[in-house]
Amino acid sequence: MTSPQFQAVVATIPDNFASPDADYREVRATMAPFHGQPLSDDVIFRETHLGGIRCGNYRLRDSSDERWCFLHIHGGALVSCPLDHYHFYAEIILRQLGHQVVMPDYRLAPEARYPAAANDCLAAYKGLIDTGMPADRIIMLGESCGGGLGLCALLLARDSGLPMPAAFVSLTGWYDLSVATPPVGREPFLTPEWVRNRGREYTGGKLPLDDPRVSPSRADLHSLPPLYLQVGQFDTMTPGALELAHNATLAGVQVRVDSWPGMIQGWHGLVGAGVPEAEAAWNDIQRYVSALDCSS
């Protein structure tokens, strides 16, 4: 049984939130009210450039813990929410995990189509390493479409001979843009055709949606860092994440999957609304990170 707080939030989401008829302009308008919140006074934001990519660097004013650097690849369905509208999510990570956050301002579709966004994430990752940050002190986070982009960037990094980060943490990531396996139950934020339309806006017809270059659940996954995948029962993208876990396991990658009954796409972002399932999910990520610290 899900919490009353979660049920109250879901009840406010209109039935047509993920209309299959929506184009990228409508998606941007629909998502705008959910983003753009200002940073709190105790968050230090510094704009920087890594590998030629504009990035945000975020720290809490009273925190001196620099053990980890979280490179966060944000969501927004591939077409919406530039960096300046996504500062709030960096603050969520700071408060929940307690280490500095770096977030690249990758280019959005359809103005910049495949492979622009994944290449930008790769450039930011390489640029972070070039600053002297050891790869084994970096944890890449990928939220929603940022999960797929981040993993695609790591595959490119691997093929370029770059060292891998300590881990990759997925928050309901998108790993199959074709949504080959239908979801179960009601997912208020995503429908399969809505996701496919975002994929088509990203690929511009250059690639089929099940191509491993944009749907990394089907890629050659050898030599990736440990993967920690948090998935929700009703999330439209969960079958793709489970396919990723299966194929990564067979490729010799260490994989942990935590499944959350009753949860939907991006429930982690509801932590600010006091949703206990979101708080618990972040606590599990914190424990996972602490275990990495102990093993290094």
Q: At which residue do the structure tokens 């945000």 appear?
A: 56
CA distance 268 to 279: 8
More confidently predicted of 293 and 209: 209
Q: Which DSSP string do the residues of 232-263 spell out, in sequence order?
A: ETT-TTHHHHHHHHHHHHHTT--EEEEEETT-
Q: Which of 107-111, 120-124, 149-153, 184-188 comes out lowest in average pLDDT?
A: 184-188
Domain count, the chain: 1
- At 295 the pLDDT is 66
Q: What is the pLDDT of residues 256-284, one digit of tens each?
A: 999 999 999 999 999 999 999 999 999 99
- At 65 the pLDDT is 65
Whether residue 154 contacts residue 60, with contact meaning beta carbons closer than 8 Å, is answered with no
What's the domain range around 248?
4-295
pTM of the model: 0.97
- At 182 the pLDDT is 87
CATH number at residue 160: 3.40.50.1820
Average pLDDT over residues 170-174: 98
3-state helix, strand, coil in the chain (%, to 5): 40, 15, 45
